[in-house]
Amino acid sequence: MNNFDISYENATVVHSNKYNQNSGIIISNFFFSNLFQDVAFKLDYNNQEFSTTFKNLNLPLYVGQKIQLVAINKNVIAYIDKNKNEFYYLTNNLQRDLNYGIAINWTLCISLTFLFYFISASIPFLGDFSHLMPTIFLIPVVLWIYQRLINFLLEKKIDTLLTKN
Protein backbone atom coordinates (compact mmCIF):
# COMPACT_ATOMS: atom_id res chain seq x y z
CA MET A 1 0.00 0.00 0.00
CA ASN A 2 1.00 3.57 -0.54
CA ASN A 3 2.72 5.69 2.08
CA PHE A 4 0.44 7.94 4.04
CA ASP A 5 1.14 11.55 4.99
CA ILE A 6 -0.25 11.84 8.52
CA SER A 7 -0.85 15.18 10.19
CA TYR A 8 -2.40 16.07 13.55
CA GLU A 9 -4.35 19.17 14.60
CA ASN A 10 -5.48 19.95 18.13
CA ALA A 11 -9.14 20.93 18.33
CA THR A 12 -12.06 21.37 20.71
CA VAL A 13 -15.59 20.11 20.16
CA VAL A 14 -17.91 23.15 20.30
CA HIS A 15 -21.14 21.43 19.22
CA SER A 16 -22.33 17.81 19.27
CA ASN A 17 -25.88 16.66 18.64
CA LYS A 18 -27.07 13.09 18.00
CA TYR A 19 -30.46 12.42 16.46
CA ASN A 20 -32.41 9.90 14.42
CA GLN A 21 -33.89 10.98 11.13
CA ASN A 22 -36.56 8.98 9.38
CA SER A 23 -35.79 8.37 5.72
CA GLY A 24 -39.49 8.30 4.81
CA ILE A 25 -39.74 4.57 4.30
CA ILE A 26 -41.04 2.68 7.31
CA ILE A 27 -39.24 -0.54 6.35
CA SER A 28 -35.89 1.28 6.32
CA ASN A 29 -36.15 1.67 10.11
CA PHE A 30 -35.80 -2.10 10.43
CA PHE A 31 -32.87 -2.53 8.05
CA PHE A 32 -30.88 0.71 8.07
CA SER A 33 -29.48 2.93 10.76
CA ASN A 34 -30.90 6.43 10.82
CA LEU A 35 -28.42 7.79 13.37
CA PHE A 36 -26.96 11.19 12.56
CA GLN A 37 -24.53 13.31 14.53
CA ASP A 38 -23.88 17.00 13.92
CA VAL A 39 -20.46 18.05 15.20
CA ALA A 40 -18.54 21.32 15.12
CA PHE A 41 -14.80 21.48 15.78
CA LYS A 42 -12.71 24.54 16.62
CA LEU A 43 -9.03 24.31 15.70
CA ASP A 44 -6.76 25.45 18.52
CA TYR A 45 -4.06 27.12 16.43
CA ASN A 46 -6.29 29.57 14.51
CA ASN A 47 -9.75 29.32 16.18
CA GLN A 48 -11.30 28.34 12.85
CA GLU A 49 -14.52 26.35 13.21
CA PHE A 50 -15.83 23.74 10.86
CA SER A 51 -18.88 21.55 11.16
CA THR A 52 -19.94 18.28 9.65
CA THR A 53 -22.61 15.60 9.94
CA PHE A 54 -21.75 11.96 10.47
CA LYS A 55 -24.17 9.22 9.48
CA ASN A 56 -24.25 5.76 11.06
CA LEU A 57 -21.46 6.56 13.50
CA ASN A 58 -22.01 6.66 17.24
CA LEU A 59 -19.02 8.75 18.27
CA PRO A 60 -18.33 9.61 21.91
CA LEU A 61 -18.07 13.37 21.33
CA TYR A 62 -19.25 16.04 23.76
CA VAL A 63 -19.03 19.82 23.97
CA GLY A 64 -15.74 21.04 25.42
CA GLN A 65 -13.89 17.81 24.65
CA LYS A 66 -10.22 18.25 23.72
CA ILE A 67 -9.32 16.11 20.73
CA GLN A 68 -6.64 15.75 18.11
CA LEU A 69 -7.85 15.43 14.52
CA VAL A 70 -5.92 12.96 12.38
CA ALA A 71 -5.60 13.73 8.67
CA ILE A 72 -4.16 11.31 6.16
CA ASN A 73 -3.22 12.78 2.81
CA LYS A 74 -5.12 15.96 3.85
CA ASN A 75 -8.37 14.04 4.55
CA VAL A 76 -9.57 14.06 8.16
CA ILE A 77 -10.38 10.43 8.90
CA ALA A 78 -10.09 10.03 12.68
CA TYR A 79 -9.74 11.78 15.97
CA ILE A 80 -7.88 11.01 19.17
CA ASP A 81 -9.58 11.60 22.49
CA LYS A 82 -6.86 13.28 24.57
CA ASN A 83 -8.34 12.24 27.93
CA LYS A 84 -8.69 8.55 27.11
CA ASN A 85 -5.88 8.36 24.54
CA GLU A 86 -8.12 6.37 22.18
CA PHE A 87 -8.77 7.04 18.52
CA TYR A 88 -12.01 6.77 16.57
CA TYR A 89 -12.61 6.73 12.83
CA LEU A 90 -14.82 9.42 11.36
CA THR A 91 -15.78 7.30 8.38
CA ASN A 92 -17.14 3.88 7.56
CA ASN A 93 -15.44 3.77 4.17
CA LEU A 94 -11.71 4.50 4.25
CA GLN A 95 -11.27 3.36 0.67
CA ARG A 96 -13.62 6.05 -0.64
CA ASP A 97 -12.30 8.82 1.62
CA LEU A 98 -8.64 8.12 0.79
CA ASN A 99 -9.32 7.51 -2.93
CA TYR A 100 -7.67 4.12 -2.72
CA GLY A 101 -8.36 1.21 -5.06
CA ILE A 102 -11.38 0.91 -7.31
CA ALA A 103 -14.27 3.23 -6.49
CA ILE A 104 -17.22 0.89 -6.10
CA ASN A 105 -20.75 2.09 -6.50
CA TRP A 106 -24.01 0.69 -7.80
CA THR A 107 -23.44 2.16 -11.26
CA LEU A 108 -20.27 0.09 -11.61
CA CYS A 109 -22.05 -3.06 -10.39
CA ILE A 110 -24.96 -2.64 -12.79
CA SER A 111 -22.66 -1.79 -15.71
CA LEU A 112 -20.47 -4.85 -15.12
CA THR A 113 -23.56 -7.05 -14.76
CA PHE A 114 -25.04 -5.90 -18.07
CA LEU A 115 -21.66 -6.10 -19.80
CA PHE A 116 -21.18 -9.66 -18.61
CA TYR A 117 -24.75 -10.53 -19.61
CA PHE A 118 -24.43 -9.20 -23.16
CA ILE A 119 -20.99 -10.70 -23.72
CA SER A 120 -22.24 -14.11 -22.64
CA ALA A 121 -25.33 -13.73 -24.86
CA SER A 122 -23.23 -12.90 -27.93
CA ILE A 123 -21.09 -16.05 -27.75
CA PRO A 124 -22.91 -18.54 -30.02
CA PHE A 125 -21.54 -21.79 -28.58
CA LEU A 126 -22.89 -21.01 -25.08
CA GLY A 127 -26.44 -21.48 -26.30
CA ASP A 128 -28.80 -20.97 -23.41
CA PHE A 129 -27.01 -18.65 -21.00
CA SER A 130 -29.47 -19.06 -18.14
CA HIS A 131 -26.82 -21.04 -16.31
CA LEU A 132 -24.77 -17.82 -16.16
CA MET A 133 -27.40 -15.94 -14.14
CA PRO A 134 -25.95 -16.99 -10.74
CA THR A 135 -22.57 -15.69 -11.91
CA ILE A 136 -24.13 -12.37 -12.87
CA PHE A 137 -25.56 -11.99 -9.39
CA LEU A 138 -22.15 -12.71 -7.90
CA ILE A 139 -20.60 -9.57 -9.42
CA PRO A 140 -22.02 -7.18 -6.77
CA VAL A 141 -21.09 -9.65 -4.02
CA VAL A 142 -17.50 -9.93 -5.27
CA LEU A 143 -17.18 -6.14 -5.52
CA TRP A 144 -18.63 -5.74 -2.01
CA ILE A 145 -16.13 -8.29 -0.64
CA TYR A 146 -13.29 -6.45 -2.43
CA GLN A 147 -14.36 -3.16 -0.86
CA ARG A 148 -14.60 -4.66 2.63
CA LEU A 149 -11.19 -6.31 2.25
CA ILE A 150 -9.51 -3.08 1.14
CA ASN A 151 -11.19 -1.18 4.00
CA PHE A 152 -10.01 -3.82 6.47
CA LEU A 153 -6.41 -3.68 5.19
CA LEU A 154 -6.39 0.13 5.22
CA GLU A 155 -7.78 0.17 8.74
CA LYS A 156 -5.10 -2.24 9.98
CA LYS A 157 -2.33 -0.20 8.37
CA ILE A 158 -3.65 3.05 9.81
CA ASP A 159 -4.09 1.41 13.23
CA THR A 160 -0.43 0.44 13.28
CA LEU A 161 0.65 3.93 12.16
CA LEU A 162 -1.46 5.67 14.80
CA THR A 163 -0.44 3.39 17.64
CA LYS A 164 3.25 3.93 16.83
CA ASN A 165 2.91 7.71 17.28
Residue type, position 133, single letter: M
Q: Which helix (H) or strand (E) holds 138?
A: helix 133-164
* Burial call 7-43: b when 16+ CB within 10 Å, e when fewer: eebebbbeebeeeeeeeeeeeeeeeeeeeebebbbbe
What is this structure's pTM?
0.70
pLDDT band at 130 (very low <50, low <70, confident <90, very high): low
* CATH topology for the 1-92 domain: OB fold (Dihydrolipoamide Acetyltransferase, E2P) (2.40.50)
Is it the case that residue 138 has pLDDT exceeding 70?
A: yes
Is it the case that residue 71 has pLDDT exceeding 80?
A: yes
pLDDT band at 12 (very low <50, low <70, confident <90, very high): very high
**Count of other CB atoms within 10 angstroms of residue 74:** 7
What per-residue confidence (pLDDT) applies to 2?
56
- For 63, phi then psi, to 5°, come to -65, 135
CA distance 4 to 100: 11
Contact 59, 35 (CB under 8 A): no
Domain(s) labelled CATH 2.40.50 in the chain stretch across 1-92
31-40, 71-80, 107-116, 128-137 — which is least confidently predicted? Answer: 128-137
CA distance 94 to 155: 7
